[in-house]
Amino acid sequence: MEKIEVNKDLCIGCGACMAICPETFEMDSDGLAKAVNNEINDEVKTAEESCPTNAIKINKED
Ligand code: SF4
């Protein structure tokens, strides 16, 4: 099972992931991003690659 996570220790709340993939990333109440579903698609991968602090991780579990 694949899972999308935002490491809030790294996230700076720049909003890039939400701009690229708004169906997956939303701003949490603390001003940092959170993932709201676990569907892996090209936009999610682009957001992961575009995050300036590498806070987004896509975990692929057996
Ligand atoms: S792109 Fe990265 S640093 Fe910016 S809001 Fe998203 S997770 Fe946080």
- Using one digit for the tens of pLDDT, what is the confidence trace for 4-54? 999 999 999 999 999 999 999 999 999 999 999 999 999 999 999 999 999
pTM of the model: 0.92
Query: Which residue is closest in CA terms to ligand 1's atom 2?
Result: 51
The full set of domains in the chain, from first to last, is 2-60 (3.30.70.20)
Nearest-atom index, ligand 1, CA of 6? 7
Distance 42 CA to ligand 1 centre (A): 17
E strand map for the chain: 2-6, 25-27, 33-35, 56-60
Phi, psi of 28 (to 5 degrees): -80, 170
